[in-house]
Chains A and B, each alone.
Chain A
Amino acid sequence: MMVYRSFIVGLVLLASGCDQNMKNLIGLGSNSSLTCTIKSTKSGDNQYLVTFIFTNTTNEPVRFLKWHTPFEGWWSQFLHVEQSGVELLYQGPMAKRAKPTEHDYIELAAHEHRSITLNLLNAYDVALSSPTTITLSSELSHPDSPNIDCSMILVRQ
């Protein structure tokens, strides 16, 4: 159904306020206090390394579910990756999970940041030489999912 995604995005304004409800649902937790940054990292052959950094901007610890975030690696489609205006097909796995356990959570102390570097080539057929737009936004509807949204145009290093 990804073909329809651009239609859907374009028509959000026409929708009957659905997306607004959705945002309220996920934002209930303490996780709106996280920010994310994406940057390109020096890559070797057969690599397109991208680093994701989550920062706790508050004075309190923040705990979030790492499902559908870069911190669990390629187990879901948590990114939108675009080159030359075309959204690339996610080629990694999608997993059906049981209930989350303690192991599925990450806690960041006040003002702590945590980063992880992933090889984009393990999940997308990216052309190495052209700029890549990477968007990370929480789309998993789970009360403990982090409410994050960041987008960056990257050039492979």
Chain B
Amino acid sequence: MKRRLLISALSSAIFVANTASAAQVSAQINFLSSLLTTEGDIHVELVLTNHDNSPVKVLKWYTAADGVQGNIFNITRDGEPVEYTGALYKRTAPSENDYQMLKPGQSINYSIELSSLYNFALPGEYRVQYQANSLHLFKAPQNEHMQSLKNNAVPFAYSALRSTAISTWVTGDPIAETIAANSTVTYNTQTLATSYTSCSNTQKNTINSAWSSAKNMSASATGYLSSRSTTQLKTAPRYKTWFGDPSIRVGAFWSPKAHERVEENFSDITDAIKNKPLSFDCGCTSSGTFAYVYPNQPYKVYFCGAFWNASRTGTDSQAGTIIHEVSHFNAVAGTDDHAYGHYGAKNLAISNVRKAIENADSYEYFAENTPQQN
């Protein structure tokens, strides 16, 4: 009986502690520039301030301390809700390291790019509000013991923190969510619907241009191969540099010649780039990686740090990277990575034709054709 009384006394104390901290922390957001377009990114600043006399801990998952990790904004365009397309994390209960301390009177500012998290690809009037709701949002340091009790046994306080909503106009043309097909051929545009995850407006525009260059590059590679015979390719520097001897059989003596397999693969790469439903993820930031795919998961391409610094065309370019990645899909050419870089790919063409014709970089460099060879 005595124990039960104690718990209920604790529970009301916790409730007070929680609502008190909630009331004492404020959130404010501002746009960092005033002229916003679909060509550019949408930067906002989030400011969290502790107005209390004692320190408060805020759960980082609902701030931008490690980047935005969930749907913490209410956004509408012309009154319609805008969907969150950023990352979602599966979590266990928060630990001490997941909290950010706000000292009495302290403010913390976060700079956040919204177009990689929410779809800002259409012009219109956008209304943005920060809103975090969680059982675990706040933690008053002196109440840690009671907090842990709370999780197990007693009624909890559901905390919320929100800013006032701010509005802005975004001007410009809609960013194509479908990548336009070659105008001379009619395609079913339904299958060309493109989806983006964690890609900002600038990144979406970059991908669309790179995709269009990749399409031309791949089509021209296919054209080069289909217009040349085995004998012609034997003396063609461009072919020989990247794939070696065109006449070697890819398997036993009745199997296709190497250049026939390469041509077939290029024709499948071109078809995939033009006609398949694509999806892009820009969440990877590794600067040592251009991109990656899961070969058995067509047609999703993950772009990483090195991709954004690459040139549009030429060696190790954005367009070439797309050809490289698309060639990996088992449903396309099922290539592997046997060698990276010009040096490695050239060596492969000399030392092992069968590996060269299943090496992704060899396809990329043949298509990029830089420096140009005939």
- List residues of A whose CB falls within 8 A of some B CB: 1-4, 7-8, 11, 15-16, 18-19, 21-22, 25, 67-68, 75-77, 89-101, 103-104, 139-142
Contact = CB atoms under 8 A, between A and B. Distances in A.
A101 B288 contact: yes
B134 interface: no
Interface in B310-362: 316, 321, 324-325, 328, 330, 333-341, 344, 347-348, 350-355, 357-358, 360-361
Given A1-B333, A96-B325, A141-B339, A8 B354 contact: yes
B351 A21 contact: yes
Given A4-B250, A96-B325, 16 more contacts: A1-B336, A1-B358, A18-B352, A76-B337, A92-B294, A93-B294, A93-B302, A95-B291, A96-B324, A96-B364, A97-B288, A98-B287, A141-B338, A141-B339, A141-B348, A142-B340
Nearest to A89: B296
Nearest to A14: B252
B292 A75 contact: yes
Contacts, number: 113
B292 A141 contact: no
B76 to A, nearest CB: 36
B312 to A, nearest CB: 16
Nearest to B321: A96
Nearest to A12: B354
Most buried by B among A1, A16, A90: A1
Nearest to B334: A1
Contacts of A8: 251, 354
B306 interface: yes
Q: Which 10 A-B residue pairings sit nearest by Cβ, starting from the closest?
A: A141-B339, A95-B292, A1-B358, A7-B251, A21-B351, A96-B290, A93-B292, A98-B306, A18-B352, A1-B334
Interface residues of B, number: 47
Nearest to B339: A141
Contacts of B351: 18, 21-22, 25, 141
Nearest to B324: A96
A15 B354 CA distance: 10
B363 to A, nearest CB: 11
A141 B296 CA distance: 24
B337 A96 contact: yes
A57 B172 CA distance: 64
A31 to B, nearest CB: 16
A107 B117 CA distance: 40
Contacts of B316: 98
A11 B354 CA distance: 11
B289 interface: yes
A19 B352 contact: yes
Interface in B239-260: 248, 250-252, 255
B32 to A, nearest CB: 31
A94 B229 CA distance: 33
Contacts of A16: 248
Contacts of A25: 347, 351
Contacts of B341: 99
Contacts of A68: 337
B289 A97 contact: yes
A47 B344 CA distance: 36
